[in-house]
Structure 1
């Protein structure tokens, strides 16, 4: 009876391994040993003590799957994709901030140049038209 129970538990573990490694991973679970035990309905201490060969096989298959570029857990794949997107957006934001700082500096420089040119025009008008010989010109605002 004990051998039959072990064989049945091993079959459940292998089925759970296939499900976790091929996806989709059920809600609330991950592609890890804890979820494997939960899905196979085998206590973790029993799994570690009685089925270390299955743990090693699961770890090996999970690593091979990840190295092949496949992610059985779609949430983890989505997290990786979103992390890459966030990094791209942060870089873009940094470039925009730098560009904005340069534009603000340009605006400040342009305004000070315009003010200096305005003052020069007012001074040249004053110098070129003596007050008694020219019509009164009002300053440009």
Structure 2
């Protein structure tokens, strides 16, 4: 079980690195002046590659988490409400990941639709979800 837990932590940390950085690329994309084609294309290439890599990291992170929960019974029984809250955070992370993908498609179509300030705020969501997840797993408040 410790190997599964260790690998889960590594994949989650790696996935979060992408979730922290991709919206930062979106901030830069939203700030590209009209006519700066080379800069825009370079940032789009970075965003596409990072999104693919993030997805490859998210799949084993979620799969290993499910293995810990279903295979080893972590969080089963009374007094494990923290796990239900953590699963909600995981669902929010998956939704955020998918939203990042939709935003990437909009940028690829040339339809950013949002300001760099909005993307700066959007970039803060994974920080809050990481904080919630760590507190839930370590403190187990309920």
TM-score normalised by length of structure 1: 0.30
Using CA pairs below 8 Å that are at least 6 residues apart, which structure has the higher relative contact order?
2
TM-score normalised by length of structure 2: 0.29
Larger Rg: 1
